[in-house]
């Protein structure tokens, strides 16, 4: 290799490193912001919505929900629910209508520390936020292009990645710590890893109700001291209290009961699958998931009237040729948007699973499946788009590289969500007149310079360079660029937002498995 060739190679490497650092440290675009309102996309007509609503009311009143616990029956039967001839818990139409009239139409999840206030999430109307969650059981290894069991270290690493990605507004237990099998130790360590790695709001799930009191203790330690968490909750509780079709799941039902008694927000993720645990017809799938979600809403509000709950109707699609869950098709994007529309009809906070590609790597299939479901869900006006960053393989795996790709893609989708502001000023008639006459272009116009940052989202990961420049710089694809960004962040960003003294107290009080040496210490 000649000296000139070596110098050229070094320049290219320095250029790539500079761009990689820019990508890793990019800031929020002025053209988009958290909570941009959606709601313009409505796949159901007004008549359709009314018919789905009436069908759902019939289901909860006549068919009801099986496997109600004695504890639940003691709480809700005195308040107007009843058991039918099959022993299933039913809710009269009038009772459900009363519940809907008094249900919380909004809630807030607070950021902590330096993010407090500016990164709070306010779920109301059609404000759209992008949220990590999913509890996948495997992590994608970019080098070998294989999936391995996910670990506690992965939870910390995924969360510290989220901490640096501007368009992911909420963290969560993206993967399971399969290396911590004990239920109590798993939940405690999962929370520790998430709270240490980011001060963004979070949504987490628990394995059983006994783990909630120690979790509150951890939340308090992360929030500033005893009693601070309940004053400004920075975490909402996920879980699946319904096992479709139309049965309660005991463990998650118990967590829902305890959270409701404390007035905490639950995000319940009711997830029937078409043709398997719900009707194959999309209208029937929608009627069932709405009924199951309304039953949970009734439970929450009969326990504590006005307690916030997310209308988390997450209907899933089955590939009926194989019986497997399929998260990436057009039907999934459509039914998810319809479920959001039903939640908006009830004026309830909403969440939905989306971005659930069936692709195993970030390829073309990955791109179009995610873009379709993200876009429809955002434009339908979901408050929280969940299963968001990095999910692949029909929710079975998560990828660091995919997470940074999703973060950038959602910036473009958020820009489409913002829409076009039309006014006398923005129509630019005078600017068009003067620029057309002289100099014949708009490149140096003061309006162009004034609005180039606030009108446009500029990608740092997606490639817009000329083809010859791309070739000279190594013909990198999106996947390889995303790997560089992940490496840059994870090699330098090792947060522990507990601080040394609180961290030491936690390690004395709880069985923390994550070594400090793996947290940059």
DSSP for 418-455 reads: H----SHHHHTHHHHHHHHHTTS--TT-HHHHHHTTTS
**3-state class (DSSP) for residue 299:** helix
Q: Could you give the percent of the chain with pLDDT greater than 90? A: 91
Tell me the CATH number at 313.
3.20.20.480
Q: For residue 432, is it within any domain?
A: no
Give the pLDDT band (50/70/90) at residue 21: low
**CB atoms near residue 118 (< 10 Å):** 8
Phi then psi dihedrals of residue 320, to 5 deg: -70, -5
Q: Which residue has the higher pLDDT, 452 or 10?
A: 452
Q: Is the pLDDT of residue 11 over 80?
A: no
What is residue 183's three-state secondary structure? Answer: helix
Report the C-alpha gap between 405 and 485 in whole angstroms. Answer: 10
Q: pTM for the full model?
A: 0.93
Does the residue 132 lie in any domain?
yes
* 409 domain-assigned: yes
CA pair distance 64, 125, nearest whole angstrom: 29
Q: How many CA atoms lie within 13 A of 253 on its CB side?
A: 22
User: For the segment 410-437, what is each residue's pLDDT rounded down to a tens digit?
Assistant: 999 999 999 999 999 999 999 999 999 9
**pLDDT confidence of residue 462:** 92
Average pLDDT over residues 94-117: 98
Q: Tell me the residue length of the chain.
A: 521
- Residue 201: which domain range? 107-418
Statement: residue 26 has pLDDT above 80: no
Distance of CA 406 to the CA centre of its chain: 11
- Whole-angstrom distance, CA of residue 119 vs CA of residue 23: 21
Is 90 exceeded by the pLDDT of residue 45?
yes
Dihedral (CA of 18, 19, 25, 29) sign = positive
Give the total number of structural domains in the chain: 1
**Whether pLDDT at 521 is above 90:** no
Other Cβ atoms within 10 Å of 9 Cβ, number: 12
Mean pLDDT over residues 115-126, rounded?
96
Residue 112 lies in a domain: yes
Buried-exposed string 471-506: b where 16+ CB fall within 10 A, e elsewhere: eebeeeebbebbbbbbebbbeebbbbbbeeebbeeb
pLDDT digits (tens, 9 = 90+) for 360-394: 999 999 999 999 999 999 999 999 999 878 999 99
Predicted pLDDT at 357: 92
d(CA 78, CA 290): 24
| Cα gap 12→171, rounded to integer Å | 35
Question: According to the model, what pLDDT value does residue 355 have?
Answer: 85
CB-count burial class (<10 Å; 0-12, 13-18, 19+) for 279 = middle
What residue spans of 34-142 are helical by DSSP H? Answer: 46-58, 70-76, 93-102
Tell me the pLDDT band of 90, cut-offs 50, 70 and 90. very high
Residue 401 within any structural domain of the chain: yes
Residue 8 has pLDDT above 70, yes or no: no
Instruction: Please check whether residue 212 lies inside any domain of the structure.
Output: yes
Burial class (CB in 10 A: 0-12, 13-18, 19+), 468: exposed
pLDDT band, very low/low/confident/very high, at 399 (cuts 50, 70, 90):
very high
pLDDT at 38: 97
Q: Is the pLDDT confidence value at 88 over 70? A: yes
Averaged pLDDT of the chain = 94
Nearest to 388 by CA among 338, 349, 350, 351: 351
In the block, tokens 């940074």 appear at 404
Query: pLDDT at position 25, please?
Result: 56
pLDDT over 80 at 295, yes or no? yes
pLDDT of residue 1: 54
Q: Which of 24-28, 325-329, 493-497, 499-503 shows the lowest per-residue confidence on average (mean pLDDT)? A: 24-28
Percent of the chain having pLDDT more than 70? 95
In-domain check, residue 472: no
Note the pLDDT of residue 428.
Answer: 97
Q: Is the pLDDT of residue 20 over 70?
A: no
Q: Residue 177 domain-assigned?
A: yes
């Amino acid at each position: 290799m000649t000296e000139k060739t070596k110098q050229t190679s070094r320049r290219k490497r320095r250029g790539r490193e500079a761009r990689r650092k820019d990508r890793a440290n990019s800031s929020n675009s002025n053209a988009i912001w958290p909570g941009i309102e959606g709601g313009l996309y409505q796949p159901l007509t007004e008549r359709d919505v009314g018919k789905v609503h009436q069908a759902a009311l019939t289901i909860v009143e006549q068919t009801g929900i099986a496997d109600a616990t004695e504890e639940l029956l003691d709480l809700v039967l005195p308040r107007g629910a009843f058991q039918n001839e099959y022993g299933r818990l039913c809710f009269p139409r009038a009772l459900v209508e009363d519940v809907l009239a008094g249900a919380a139409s909004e809630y807030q999840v607070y950021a902590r520390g330096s993010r407090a206030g500016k990164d709070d999430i306010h779920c109301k109307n059609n404000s759209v936020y992008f949220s990590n969650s999913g509890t996948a059981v495997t992590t994608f290894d970019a080098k070998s292009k294989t999936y391995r069991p996910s670990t506690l270290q992965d939870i910390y690493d995924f969360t510290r990645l989220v901490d640096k990605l501007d368009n992911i507004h909420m963290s969560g237990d993206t993967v399971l710590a399969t290396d911590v099998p004990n239920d109590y130790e798993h939940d405690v360590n999962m929370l520790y890893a998430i709270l240490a790695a980011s001060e963004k709001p979070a949504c987490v799930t628990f394995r059983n109700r006994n783990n909630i009191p120690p979790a509150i203790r951890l939340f308090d330690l992360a929030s500033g001291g005893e009693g601070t968490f309940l004053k400004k909750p920075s975490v909402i509780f996920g879980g699946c209290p319904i096992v479709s079709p139309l049965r309660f799941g005991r463990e998650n039902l118990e967590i829902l009961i305890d959270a409701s008694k404390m007035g905490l927000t639950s995000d319940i993720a009711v997830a029937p699958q078409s043709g398997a645990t719900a009707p194959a017809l999309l209208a029937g799938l929608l009627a069932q998931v709405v009924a199951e979600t309304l039953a949970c809403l009734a439970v929450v509000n009969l326990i504590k009237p006005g307690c916030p709950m997310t209308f988390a109707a997450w209907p899933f699609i089955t590939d009926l040729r194989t019986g497997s869950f399929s998260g990436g098709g057009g039907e999934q994007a459509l039914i998810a948007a319809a479920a959001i529309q039903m939640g908006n009809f009830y004026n309830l906070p909403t969440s939905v699973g989306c971005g659930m590609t069936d692709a195993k790597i970030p390829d073309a299939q990955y791109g179009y499946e995610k873009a379709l479901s993200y876009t429809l869900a955002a434009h339908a006006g979901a408050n929280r788009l969940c299963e968001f960053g990095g999910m692949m393989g029909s929710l079975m795996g998560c990828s660091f590289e995919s997470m940074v790709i999703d973060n950038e893609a959602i910036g473009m989708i958020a820009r489409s969500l913002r829409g076009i502001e039309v006014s006398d000023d923005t129509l630019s008639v005078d600017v068009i007149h003067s620029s057309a006459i002289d100099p014949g272009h708009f490149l140096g116009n003061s309006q162009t310079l004034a609005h180039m940052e606030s009108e446009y989202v500029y990608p740092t990961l997606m490639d817009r360079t000329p083809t010859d420049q791309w070739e000279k710089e190594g013909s990198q694809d999106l996947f390889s660029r995303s790997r560089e960004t992940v490496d840059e962040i994870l090699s330098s960003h090792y947060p522990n937002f507990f601080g040394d003294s609180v961290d030491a107290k936690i390690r004395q009080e709880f069985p923390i498995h994550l070594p400090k040496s793996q947290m940059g210490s």
